[in-house]
Structure formats: structure tokens, C-alpha cells
């Protein structure tokens, strides 16, 4: 029986683009009848994953922003309670327009830098209820979140997605680093 290693992952340097990348991770072995589909599925995900991420983030932000603009957002009361020092009658629609701008920018690669900037200016505010309204966010501190708390914590996924998209900015589609081919060594 082998014990898990706490050593850092192996890295390889891709001299063609001067990048360091992690070696492929080992995963559970696939049954033989599924092994022929694995490269097809992984290739499809690699080819379309970033595009789908652009569209998905765009849709989410435009949708949630529009709900705020049209005063139909389920987060309305949470926003009102969190930023109680600002008039919500103008703040919530402006926040909605801001979120719609984020969505449009994240959906279209030429606007991605602006979208990431707008997103990272907006995100700290989304975590404010965790500090200002702990009774609304936590059912039992520190591990059991309420529905509102889950709504807020899911923003960690949005941060990760924005980092992935931001990581594509300095390269064209054709020069994105490909994972090394495992030749069984």
C-alpha cells in the first residue's frame, strides 16, 4: 500500500511559450470500454470549455443584473440590508446595470479585461453580508450556511472562473499551452 505524497506537483517548462505547467494529474483508471471515449470527451472539453465559460458567466451576470434593474431580484432585501447607508432605490438598479456590464464584458473576449476589472471591483461587496449580517448568512457558524450564505459563497466559483478566463488573455487561442502527452514513462 502506498501512502499519499505531500510533495509539490511535478512541473514542466514549455520552452515554446516560456510557461511552467503542472504535470498531468493521475486519476482513477477507466474500464477498458470507456478508455476510447476519454480522449474524445477531454478534447471536447479542452476545445470548448473556455468558450462555454465566457457565455455562462455572461448569461449569469446579465440575468442577475437585469433582475435588479427590473426590481425582481430575490437578492433585493439582502442588498438593502447590507448597504443600508445608501438609498436602495438608485443603488440596486445601478448595481444591476454594473452586473449586466460585467456579463457583457465577460462574454466577449475583446472586453474581457474590462469585465474582470468590473468584477473584481464588485466582488468585495458581495461578501459584505458575511461581516455585516452574520445572522442572515450563518445558520451555525462557521460551517453551516443559510441559503443566503450559500448564494454568497458560490462567488468563490465565479472568482475561479474569472481567473481561468483572465489566464487566457496573454495568449491567442492557438498558443494556449496544451497538456503534455503521457507516453507511459
Task: Give the whole-angstrom CA distance, residue 152 versus residue 147.
Answer: 9
Task: Give the whole-angstrom CA distance, residue 152 versus residue 127.
Answer: 6
Q: How far is CA 175 from CA 12, 170, 171, in A?
A: 17, 10, 6
Helix and strand numbers (H, E) in the chain are: 9, 4
On the question of pLDDT at 3 being above 60, the answer is no
Q: What is the pLDDT of residues 134-179, one digit of tens each?
A: 999 999 998 999 999 999 999 999 999 999 999 999 876 544 445 5
Q: Collapse the DSSP code of 20 into the 3-class scheme (helix H, G, I; strand E, B; otherwise coil) and give the result.
A: strand
Amino acid at each position: 500500500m502506498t501512502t499519499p505524497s505531500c510533495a509539490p506537483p511535478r512541473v514542466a517548462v514549455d520552452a515554446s511559450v516560456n510557461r511552467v505547467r503542472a504535470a498531468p494529474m493521475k486519476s482513477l483508471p477507466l474500464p477498458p470500454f470507456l478508455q476510447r471515449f476519454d480522449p474524445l470527451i477531454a478534447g471536447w472539453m479542452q476545445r470548448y470549455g473556455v468558450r462555454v465559460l465566457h457565455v455562462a458567466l455572461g448569461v449569469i451576470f446579465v440575468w442577475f443584473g437585469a433582475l435588479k434593474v427590473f426590481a425582481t431580484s430575490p437578492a433585493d432585501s439582502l442588498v438593502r440590508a447590507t448597504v443600508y447607508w445608501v438609498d436602495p432605490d438608485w443603488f440596486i438598479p445601478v448595481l444591476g446595470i454594473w452586473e449586466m456590464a460585467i456579463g457583457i464584458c465577460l462574454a466577449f473576449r475583446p472586453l474581457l479585461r474590462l469585465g474582470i476589472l468590473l468584477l473584481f471591483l464588485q466582488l468585495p461587496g458581495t461578501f459584505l453580508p458575511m461581516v455585516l449580517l452574520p445572522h442572515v448568512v450563518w445558520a451555525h457558524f462557521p460551517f453551516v450556511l443559510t441559503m443566503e450564505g450559500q448564494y454568497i459563497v458560490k462567488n468563490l466559483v465565479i472568482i475561479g472562473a474569472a481567473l481561468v478566463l483572465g489566464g487566457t488573455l496573454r495568449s491567442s487561442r492557438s498558443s494556449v499551452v496544451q497538456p503534455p502527452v503521457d507516453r507511459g514513462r
